[in-house]
Amino acid sequence: MNVTNLIRKLLYYFNLESEIDDFDKIHETIVKDSVFKGTNLWILMFAIVVASVGLNMNSTAVIIGAMLISPLMGPINGMGYSIATYDFQLFRKALKNYSFAVFSSLAASTAYFALSPISTAHSELLARTSRTIYDVLIALFGGLAGIVAISSKQKGNVIPGVAIATALMPPLCTAGYGLATAQFDFFFGAIYLFTINTVFIALASVAVSQILKFPIRTLVEEKQKHIVNRWISVVIALVVIPSIYFGYNLVQKEKFNENATKYIRNIGVFEGNFLLKHEVNPNKKTISLTYGGATMSEAQKNRITEIAADFFTNGAIIRFEQGLSFDAFDNKNSEVENLKAELSRMNLLLQEKEKKIDSITERKYFGRQILSEIKNLYPQISTCSFSESLIFNDSLQTPENKGIVMFGLNEKISEQEKQKIEQWLKTRLQNNNIQIYYSE
């Protein structure tokens, strides 16, 4: 199969033209979903209450249910479709219904949270205030999936999935929470997230409508087309640029938290002092450390601060707080002295155990070290394994430590050379009790 046929086959699989629904049916569907009256209006009201209760009770399942029943995507797709087909009458209608839905949702959610006895900002509420470039990607590709599904004869269950992924209703209700509790950082963060979702779902509708060549519904001059395209570019820039900035900040915070975890693990025990508590603030780039033990000197604090330079390239502010201090007690108090001695002893035991573990780990690979050293003298040796074992005997009170070495040969070695190898190993291992085996 040549390259041309392969490309044609791929294009056949990605082709949408054979599955596009009738253009008039698509137009009717989008126009019907853009209107908020009757069924759509009641569903919107119920969805607002459900989403507000879900956010208030921090229930993910309830919030997902609200996103599924919310009809907010209808007028957004209507605005995108009308821009692509230059149907300005439909655009005005969709924008009017969209504005009505937004203000109704804000009013209802604000009233709910003003009356609710629970005003704590749970994790689900906090999640609706973060906005980054990743939200742009979610809204864009979610909107693309939605408009492609609307345009296809095989509708499937894509629209509910898009409603969950793009999450239009929860940010609106979170904005209502911000207004009700006078926390305007919640309001502006949630409104910006909602704006991102709206703009890029609409732009996805514009793009797909033009790619699939939906028919233009009205006569339009080239000058008007240029004006529309210019406004689209301005809106994209106004929405995307701040999201890139917030996305960069999010990445920097994650890096700071990751480096802070490594740093704290490194200074958990420092010169007889034990880290009792720590607090990391990536926004201010500060790390607060609370140590227990002897009162720390300025020199010790400076050394801990200097270690931070190895983990934070852009710097970090290290703050110290003194926790349990033995110096606050009377030095003659025997219990305190015993406790200090016990802590020191445990610290030494821990260090010794770590050294033993390291030596045992290295011992497993000692055969490789022997092979690298002896192969230069005896190239006939191709492999080497080394182990140590205890030899027990009824006549001995303590067992003998015996080293066992096995060499693999690619050529025979004379008995005289074997004796030299044995003598070399006894000197190298500092053990006269060695058993050597050779295998060809």
Instruction: Encode the chain (440 residues) as per-residue pLDDT tens digits.
Output: 567 777 777 766 666 666 777 777 888 888 887 777 777 778 877 888 888 888 777 777 777 777 777 777 788 888 888 888 888 888 888 888 888 888 888 888 888 888 877 666 655 555 555 666 677 777 778 778 877 877 877 665 566 666 666 667 788 888 888 888 888 887 888 888 888 888 888 888 888 887 887 887 776 667 777 777 787 778 777 777 777 776 677 677 778 888 888 888 888 777 777 777 888 888 788 888 887 766 777 888 888 888 887 777 777 888 887 666 555 554 545 566 667 667 777 777 777 776 666 555 666 777 888 888 888 788 888 898 888 878 877 766 678 888 888 888 888 888 888 888 888 888 888 888 888 888 87
C-alpha span between 67 and 43 (Å, rounded): 11
pLDDT at 29: 81
Burial state string for 338-359 with b = 16 or more CB within 10 A and e = fewer than 16: eebeebeeeeeeeeeeeeeeee
Nearest alpha-carbon partner for 142 in 88, 72, 242: 72
Nearest alpha-carbon partner for 92 in 104, 79, 77, 80: 79
Cα dihedral 208, 212, 213, 217, rounded to 10, equals -60
C-alpha span between 162 and 96 (Å, rounded): 23
Burial class (CB within 10 angstroms; exposed 0-12, middle 13-18, buried 19+) of 413: middle
What number of other Cβ atoms are within 10 A of residue 105's Cβ? Answer: 26
Burial class (CB within 10 angstroms; exposed 0-12, middle 13-18, buried 19+) of 90: buried
**Which residues have a Cβ under 8 Å from the Cβ of 307 and sit 6 or more positions away?**
263, 266, 267
**Can you give the three-state secondary structure of 178-215, one letter per residue?**
HHHCCCHHHHHHHHHHHHHHHHHHHHHHHHHHHHCCCC
- Of the CATH numbers 2.60.120.10, 3.40.190.10, 3.30.300.170, 3.40.50.2300, which one belongs to the domain with range 366-439? 3.30.300.170
pLDDT at 128: 56
Cα dihedral 267, 271, 274, 275, rounded to 10, equals -30
φ and ψ at 246, to 5 degrees?
-65, -35
Parallel, antiparallel or unpaired: strands 400-409 and 434-439:
parallel
Whose tokens are 């529309």? That residue is: 228
- Of the CATH numbers 3.40.720, 3.40.50, 1.20.1080, 1.10.3470, which one belongs to the domain with range 19-220? 1.20.1080
User: Which residues of the chain are in CATH 1.20.1080 domains?
Assistant: 19-220
C-alpha span between 405 and 157 (Å, rounded): 68
- How many whole angstroms from its chain centre is CA 230? 36
Q: How far is CA 75 from CA 99, 273, 403, in A?
A: 9, 63, 81
User: Which residues of the chain are in CATH 3.30.300.170 domains?
Assistant: 366-439
φ and ψ at 324, to 5 degrees?
-65, 120
